[in-house]
């Protein structure tokens, strides 16, 4: 039986409430509902690592982070986050976070924080998009799918805490070739308040949910058919504060793939058309049989 939206979201929020073990050392868990999966969802480790970095920073906001996925995480075991205080500047602060499990690194993350200051402003325009409430949610699409598909998807679903409404979905069990571009609306499934750090960490959590699939679209493959896929790295630039309990548009494209890797980009806009974040990711996209 699925969790309720608030229960699922609370599980993610609890996972972001890291335990302080020692100065610069924190411990995080995987939500109980996720612990029967084969590996930890990458966005969770990124969000937890960013949370750990924030625990050592005061009065500054993260403007960018870059993470490298090194090993699959074990959902049943806690993760230790060791923060290195790389630099304390007048305007910028830099942190390096190492996520450790079973004595080995599973993720390295570097994050830069900046004091709030004015500057020149411009941004790319958001392309016209339908109202999010006119786009079927993943749950609505799943309810209309055959029972066998619902059973299979139930074994891998990890987005209970985040509602996603895809404008151009593909069938992961029978994918057809499509342009390397996809758009979706997403938001937290329950109110979470206006805490900037929490909203930013939850946004980081959500950015890994669909991006890698973009580079698979022009090849007619998916997680379930014809390819082995895994995130290799993940970069986020935070441009302005955003509320995760309001709708956000995730506009994604993949300009290149080759060498068993695919490159993906994402631009995230709020409903007012303001660009709130940009994302880039390279992932493994290795052809397989079947």
Strands of the chain, DSSP E: 19-22, 25-28, 61-69, 79-88, 92-101, 104-114, 162-166, 181-188, 227-238, 248-258, 261-270, 275-287
What is the end-to-end Cα distance of the chain in Å, rounded?
Answer: 30
Q: In whole angstroms, how far apart are CA 184 and each of 35, 137, 257, 286, 290?
A: 27, 10, 22, 25, 28
Structure tokens at 126: 């958001």
What's the DSSP call for residue 33?
Answer: G
- Contact between residue 196 and residue 164 where contact means Cβ atoms under 8 Å apart: no
Q: How far apart are CA 283 and CA 215, in angstroms?
A: 9
Which strand ranges, in their side-by-side order, compose the sheet holding 227-238?
Answer: 19-22, 25-28, 79-88, 92-101, 104-114, 61-69, 227-238, 275-287, 261-270, 248-258, 181-188, 162-166
What amino acid positions are annotated as catalytic residues?
208, 231, 281
Cross-strand bridge partners of residue 277: 238, 268
């Amino acid at each position: 039986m699925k969790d309720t939206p608030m229960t699922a979201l609370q599980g993610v929020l609890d996972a972001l409430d890291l335990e302080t073990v020692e100065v610069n050392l924190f411990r995080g868990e995987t939500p109980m509902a996720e612990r029967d999966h084969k590996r930890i969802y990458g966005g969770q480790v990124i969000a937890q690592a960013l949370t750990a970095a924030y625990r050592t920073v005061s009065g500054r906001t993260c403007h960018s982070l870059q993470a490298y996925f090194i090993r699959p995480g074990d959902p049943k075991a806690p993760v230790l986050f060791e923060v290195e205080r790389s630099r304390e500047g007048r305007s910028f602060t830099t942190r390096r976070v190492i996520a450790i499990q079973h004595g080995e690194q599973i993720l390295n993350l570097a994050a830069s924080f900046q004091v709030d200051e004015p500057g020149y402003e411009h941004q790319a325009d958001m392309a016209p998009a339908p109202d999010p409430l006119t786009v079927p949610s993943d749950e609505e699409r799943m309810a209309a799918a055959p029972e066998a598909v619902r059973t299979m998807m139930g074994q891998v679903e990890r987005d209970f805490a985040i509602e996603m409404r895809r404008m151009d979905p593909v069938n992961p069990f029978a994918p057809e070739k499509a342009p390397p571009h996809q758009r979706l609306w997403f938001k937290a499934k329950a109110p979470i308040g206006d805490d900037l750090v929490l909203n930013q960490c939850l946004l980081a959590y959500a950015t890994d949910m669909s991006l890698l699939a973009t580079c698979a679209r022009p090849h007619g493959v998916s997680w379930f058919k014809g390819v082995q896929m895994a995130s290799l790295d993940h970069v986020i630039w935070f441009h302005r504060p955003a509320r995760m309990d309001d709708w956000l548009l995730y506009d994604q494209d993949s300009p290149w793939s080759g060498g068993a890797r695919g490159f993906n980009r994402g631009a995230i806009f709020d409903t007012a058309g303001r660009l709130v974040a940009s994302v880039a990711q390279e992932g493994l996209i290795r052809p397989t049989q079947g």
